[in-house]
Amino acid sequence: MGSLFIMFEPLKLVILLALLHLGTLQHTTSAQTQVGFYDTSCPNAEAIVRSTVTTHIQSDVTIAAGLVRLFFHDCFVQGCDGSVLISGGNAVERAAPANAGVRGFEVVEDAKAQLEATCPGVVSCADILALAAKDAVDLSEGPSWHVPLGRRDGRVSLASNAANMPSPSDSIATLKQKFAAKGLSVQDLVVLSGAHTIGQTDCRFFSYRLYNYSLSNQFDPSIDSSFLGQLQQLCPPQGNGLAKVALDTGSQTSFDTSFFKNVNKGFGVLESDQRLMSDPTTSSYVKRYGGLVSGLLGVRFDLAFANSMVKMGNIGVLTGSKGEIRRACSSVN
């Protein structure tokens, strides 16, 4: 089996490069943002963010997934405006229950400090986060893409605005509604869920599936029986709920299609991930991206993920004279 994949890798690379080129051409510019926005005003901006993300991932590989999640949580509240980065007690967005465990703030702040020293008042925190999420995926053996830039930073950050974030306990119908409200399709829902191919979560976010699903004192029947035992060992009933569990068993640091293969087998950790198999439309995408042949060795998912990230990255962006360019990402000017 190993030699089979070695033989296919060069082919995958050629196909991926060609498809990503075609895909990113579709998103080179939008009505709001554009690729190469800082080419004149701060030509080293993207390189500085990349170097910063690289350094942090070398110190802590799990921060890659944190950055992708941080970008998602920013965009899904009031658009990709960096509002999740603002600190300041329990009233701000990052303190909302839906943002429990969100991390990667220090990476964005580090990149911002370097950019302020090089190009003061030019590069927004919202753009830094968008670039950092892309670099995190690329450095995790995933796809890369051209990030349209030109976002400005929002001045409002309220915990109450995060109340309608997608939740691991949401039904597929509810998730479809929440994604549609942001202009994202069912395909985007499945593709962006595929970001769980890297990273981990706390037992507290899914342990109810192991012991008291739907208040039944039973386990969630959609969990594969062999996987149930593994999860119960990692998350004992009397545990504190903070133990970490990989979202993609066996491949938590590599951005690949293993997540879809696991969900197809009943190995989804979060309920929302496993529920992708309960709906005919979402399950068809899971099977498409998880199959060796139908997934084109992962190329189809790579292209779809890049396109969905660009699409999500343009939700509710502030451009032109709207918003501001923060001097520090954790506070408004």
Give strand ranges (E) for the chain. Answer: 200-202, 244-246
* From 27, 56, 73, 146, active-site residue: 73
> What 8-state DSSP symbol labels residue 157?
-
Question: What is the token pair recorded at 289?
Answer: 């991206």
**According to the annotation, is 79 in a ligand binding site?**
yes
Whole-number Å distance between alpha carbons of 172 and 178: 10
**According to the annotation, is 49 in a ligand binding site?**
no
**According to the annotation, is 77 in a ligand binding site?**
yes
**According to the annotation, is 74 in a ligand binding site?**
yes
**According to the annotation, is 81 in a ligand binding site?**
yes
Whole-number Å distance between alpha carbons of 205 and 165: 15
**According to the annotation, is 83 in a ligand binding site?**
yes
Question: What is the token pair recorded at 157?
Answer: 């950050």
Residue that is written with structure tokens 């603002």 in the block: 86
Q: Within a 10 A sphere around the Cβ of 129, how many other Cβ atoms?
A: 32
Whole-number Å distance between alpha carbons of 204 and 240: 8
Annotated active-site residue 21? The verdict is no
Burial class (CB in 10 A: 0-12, 13-18, 19+), 103: middle
Cβ atoms of 264 and 193 closer than 8 Å: no
Q: Residue 221 corresponds to which amino acid?
A: P
Q: Which residues, in sequence order, are CB contacts of 191 under 8 Å at separation 6+?
A: 285, 289, 301, 304, 305, 308
**According to the annotation, is 106 in a ligand binding site?**
no
Using DSSP's 3-state secondary structure scheme, residue 256 falls into coil
**According to the annotation, is 290 in a ligand binding site?**
no
**According to the annotation, is 256 in a ligand binding site?**
yes
Binding residues for substrate: 166
**Residue list for the binding site:** 74, 77, 79, 81, 83, 93, 166, 196-197, 248, 256
Q: Can you say which residues are annotated as belonging to the binding site for heme b?
A: 196
Which positions are annotated as active-site residues?
73
Binding-site annotation, residues for Ca(2+)? 74, 77, 79, 81, 83, 93, 197, 248, 256
